[in-house]
Structure 1
Amino acid sequence: MNNKFNAPMMILVAAIALAGVGCGNNKMAVAESTAVVVDSNNSGTGTIPTSPDGSGTNTGGTTTSYSNEGTFTPVSITELNNYIGTRPVNDPKNFKLKVQLSDVGNGRYAGTVSMSYTDSGVTYTGSFTAGTGKNASYSGLKDNNTLEAEYNRFFTSGGKTVFTGFFQDQWGGVVLVVDNVISQGDAQGGTIVTGSLYYKNFAQSYATQSPYRKCWFIYDGPYNCRSGSVINKSAVIPNDGYRKLGTFSGISKAAAFQ
């Protein structure tokens, strides 16, 4: 007679949920190389106009200070969820866009662009940067000693002064677009800019981004966030896979672009 022995087994399953704001998501999958590819340097074309005035005086002759933070309106909740990637939003409100940039030479602007909102009592902020320095110089790499903010500048399109520029966080790249510069008149304190924010999530990958280049200087692989129209200043709207996240208004040019 055979006896069967049954041993009980206990399995403990733990799930960790990550919540945050920014481009991309935290699901990882094997992807292509992240190498910075040697390619021809394209610093962009087009006229670089004088940056629009952002200061003004009121009727008393004193300078009026405006904010570098304005109202942000997402295209849709669906698009917002696609941008966040890690979790669905519940009841988002109080959207803001903050622009903190400075001229690092020849009309190129470096700094931080931040989009924030409140959801279920918690404030989430995605901050995207372009550094003030230059690319490190290494044999075999392109764009050596090029300003990290090389493509972030005002230019003329359709007879209007506009701005496009790249910024990134760990999840992906964004393009800040200023497509309208509104003079408030001296009595109202200067110039207000309005525009849009576009995003491009990084592809899922176990590999890490090259420490030597921001995503707009990476020509191939999951960390490539380049856009020909932004680089060449051939159009105001970014191409090459960028999606419109929303629009902003009410930002002082003087406070945002210093």
Structure 2
Amino acid sequence: MRRIIYILFITMAVVATGCSSKKSDSSGSPTGYPPVGGYPPSNGGVPPITNPIESPTNTGSATDLVLTSQSALNTYAGWSTNNPTDVKIGVSLYQVSSYTNSSGGTDYSYGGLVSIHFKDGTRSYTDEFRSDTFGDGGCGQYDDCNTVSGNVKNQKYNLLSTTYPEKNGAPAYHGFFEDTQVRRLSPPTPYLPIFGGAVILVIDKFIDLGDGAGPSSASGSVWFKNYLGNYPMGPLPLTHCWFISSGPYDCRSWKNGDGVNTKKSLYPQNNYIKLGTFNNLNIQRAFNGEI
């Protein structure tokens, strides 16, 4: 079966030449993934995902992250770093659904995990951001409580597509991922800002060596937006922050009324800050073979 990136390129060419024949897959899973009936309930309906920075032999891929500036890292982290080193981004995504886009081609939604890692002095810091439903729902201090929406809905804005306005028909991806530890300061200092929020992963270039094996690597950027508020804040809502339309937990970009127009731009808007850029992300591992 043709790989998804090739399908996107082929669809783009067919639409451009005015051919009325369109490739689509009514199953919503052109590679047969996820399995029919979904994942076992013991996995929460999602595939097992591990942090590729901490478990490089399991799922996903990690690569160096080149910071926009140390100031951007300080804003992201919530404190003044001294000499940050070993800055990395980890990506582990799985395919969730597919949709017919406005050009008659197919968009593919992917979700999962993005992790940001750096060292400062002798200490290491790793934050994980996810777009799926997980956790025990206990809503304790460090529990994830975003369990209301199903995974198809959660990933509806996280699209691999050829219809982003900046890319002129080339495939690209962006997606929302929310902090799994709402308070990065442990414990948070009363009446000081809470640092936690969301990141948007952007992949704007896929590298294909032309050997028939499909895209081998990718480059892009990661952007962040911290929750806007001081401790103590209200409870974390029972849905992901990109479905929240007001208040300190609203992390939307590409705002459209109370919702999101995810095709408005490939790159984040609405006060997202560019944390850094990356190259040489192993795309087959990052997408767990589903691209």
CA distance in 2, matches of 1:188, 1:145: 29
The one-character-per-residue Cα deviations of 1:174-207 (angstroms, maximum 9, x if unpaired) are 1000011111333888421110001111111433
Q: Residue 91 of structure 2 contacts residue 115 of structure 2 at CA under 8 Å; is this kept in 1?
A: yes
Deviates more, 1:188-197 or 1:68-77: 188-197
Paired AA for residue 52 in structure 1: I
The CA deviation at 1:126 is 1.3
Note if contact 1:103-1:109 (Cα within 8 Å) is conserved in structure 2: yes
Q: Distance in 2 between matches of 1:176 and 1:80?
A: 16
Asked if 1:250 is matched to 2:280, the reply is yes
How far has the Cα of 1:71 moved from its partner? 1.3
Task: Give yes or no for contact 2:60–2:92 (8 Å, CA) kept in 1.
Answer: no
Aligned to 1:174: 199
Cα deviations by residue, 1:219-243 (Å, 9 ceiling, x for unpaired)? 0000000011774312111111111
1:227 to 249, 253, 259: 253
- Gapped regions of structure 1 (runs ≥ 5): 1-49, 54-65, 138-143
SS in 2 for 1:81: helix
CA distance in 1, matches of 2:64, 2:204: 16
SS in 1 for 2:116: strand
1:153-168 to 2 correspondence within 5 Å?
153-156=159-162, 157=164, 158-168=168-178
Query: Distance between the aligned counterparts of 1:203 and 1:52, measured in 2?
Result: 37
Matches within 5 A, 1:11-50: none
1:31-89 C-alpha deviation (Å, 9 max, x unpaired) = xxxxxxxxxxxxxxxxxxx7326xxxxxxxxxxxx97111100100111101111x211
Supply the AA of the counterpart residue of 2:281.
Answer: I
Work out which of the residue numbers 109, 120, 136 in structure 1 matches 2:148: 136
Instruction: Give the structure 2 partner of residue 110 of structure 1.
Output: 111
Q: Is the 8 A contact 1:69 1:250 kept in 2?
A: no
Separation in structure 2 between the aligned mates of residue 76 and residue 178 of structure 1, nearest angstrom: 20
1:208 and 1:105 map into 2 onto residues whose CA distance is 33
Q: Which has the larger radius of gyration?
A: 1
1:97 equivalenced with 2:89 (yes/no)? yes
Matching residue within 193, 213, 217 for 2:243 = 217
Counterpart residue type for residue 113 of structure 1: V
Note if contact 1:75-1:247 (Cα within 8 Å) is conserved in structure 2: yes
Distance 1:209 1:160, change over 3 A: farther
Distance (Å, rounded) in 1 between the aligned partners of 2:243 and 2:272: 16
Question: CA, structure 1 residues 231+254, in 2 after alignment: closer, same or farther (shift >3 Å)?
Answer: farther
Between the two proteins, what is the percent identity of the paired residues? 34
| Contact preservation (8 Å) 1:110, 1:132 | no
Matched, 1:77 2:88: no
Given residue 200 of structure 1, which amino acid in structure 2 is its aligned partner?
K
Amino acid at match of 2:176: F
Aligned length: 191
- Conserved 8 A contact 2:197-2:249: yes
TM-score when normalising by structure 2: 0.59
Report the Cα distance in structure 1 between the residues aligned to 2:281 and 2:213, rounded to whole angstroms.
Answer: 14
Aligned-pair RMSD on alpha carbons?
Answer: 2.7
CA distance in 2, matches of 1:247, 1:145: 27
Cα 1:187/1:95, change in 2 over 3 Å: farther
Query: Match of 1:162, as an amino acid?
Result: A
Distance 1:219 1:209, change over 3 A: farther
| Distance in 2 of aligned mates of 1:88 and 1:227 | 26
CA contact (8 A) 2:92 2:287 kept: yes
* 1:51 counterpart residue number: 4
User: Secondary structure of 1:186's match?
Assistant: coil
Distance 1:123 1:166 in 2: 24
